[in-house]
Amino acid sequence: MSAFDREIRKEYLHSKLIILDRDGVINKNSKSYIKNKNEWNPIEGSIKAISRLSKHGFKILVVTNQS
């Protein structure tokens, strides 16, 4: 492991990071790609939960496999 890798690993081991999948975790699954904000339908409570995590010092990273 390189010095850079060790430094990055050390930083993330001590950080409060939450990685969330977008589809099915934050928003309801859709049969087609979500192309604009009007098609995005959040799961009840998901935004509030993310807000609470953020207020408690967590960094939030949202990922998706939608291309």
Residues annotated as catalytic (active site), given as ranges: 21, 23
Count other Cβ atoms within 10 Å, centred on residue 47.
12
Strand partners, 60: 18
Short-list 12, 36, 14, 27, CA closest to 64 = 27
Beta-carbon-side half-sphere exposure of residue 5 (alpha carbons within 13 Å): 2
